[in-house]
């Protein structure tokens, strides 16, 4: 058993003063820790007969691509506006100071099994994850669970995700 917290570096005052950023790059550069994390997710989902793994830009792509490959299912990216080259649908959501938007290809779920998980590196306040749940459902899929490598439980992100089950590997 690997203690994945040992591979998460804390960076003070990033991206702005007062925030302690949880940096997963030490985990990603350690093949054993990275494989252990992906295997942890794979074990949870290997019998669930998922149709796809949906991941959120950008660190979610690293985890999501690896997990989708391991499970043998499609990988569906959720991106910021203007980054996807095909027809998209979008979801705009509130931030602490302003708004942000996410997009997904309009044909992202043109396959029979529409049961998906959403995977990202961190669950913080939950705004991005909640917007992704809405976006995926609008695109025609059913979110079975939202999964995160890290959950910052003190930020109460689960409050915004009441409509789907949540799984996290590491909690702070």
Q: Prior bond to 15 cis, omega within 30?
A: yes
Tell me whether residue 79 is one of the annotated catalytic residues.
Answer: no
10, 57, 59, 144: the active-site residue:
59
- Give the start-end residues of each E strand in the chain: 9-12, 20-23, 52-56, 75-78, 88-95, 98-105, 115-123, 142-151, 166-171
Task: Give φ, ψ of 122 to 5 degrees.
Answer: -135, 135
Mention every residue, 6+ apart, whose C-beta is less than 8 A from residue 35: none
Tell me whether residue 59 is one of the annotated catalytic residues.
Answer: yes
Instruction: Please tell me the number of Cα atoms within 13 Å of 147 on its side-chain side.
Output: 24
- Cα separation of 6 and 33, whole Å? 9
Q: If residue 131 lies in a helix (H) or strand (E), which one and from where to where?
A: helix 127-138
44, 46, 79, 96: the active-site residue:
96
* Whether the Cβ atoms of residue 84 and residue 139 lie closer than 8 Å to each other: no
Active-site positions?
Answer: 59, 96
């Amino acid at each position: 058993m690997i203690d994945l917290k040992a591979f998460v570096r804390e960076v003070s005052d990033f991206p702005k003063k007062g925030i302690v950023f949880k940096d997963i790059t030490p985990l990603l550069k350690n093949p054993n820790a990275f494989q252990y994390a992906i295997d942890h997710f794979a074990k949870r989902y290997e019998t669930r007969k998922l149709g796809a793994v949906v991941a959120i830009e950008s660190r979610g792509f690293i985890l999501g691509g690896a997990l989708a490959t391991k499970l043998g299912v499609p990988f569906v990216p959720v991106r910021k506006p203007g980054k996807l080259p095909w027809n998209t649908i979008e979801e705009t959501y509130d931030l602490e100071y302003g708004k942000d938007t996410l997009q997904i290809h309009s044909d992202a779920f043109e396959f029979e099994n529409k049961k998906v998980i959403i995977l990202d590196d961190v669950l913080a306040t939950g705004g991005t994850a909640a917007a992704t749940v809405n976006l995926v459902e609008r695109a025609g899929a059913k979110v079975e669970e939202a999964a995160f490598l890290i959950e910052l439980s003190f930020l109460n992100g689960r409050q915004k995700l009441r409509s789907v089950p949540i799984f996290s590997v590491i909690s702070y």
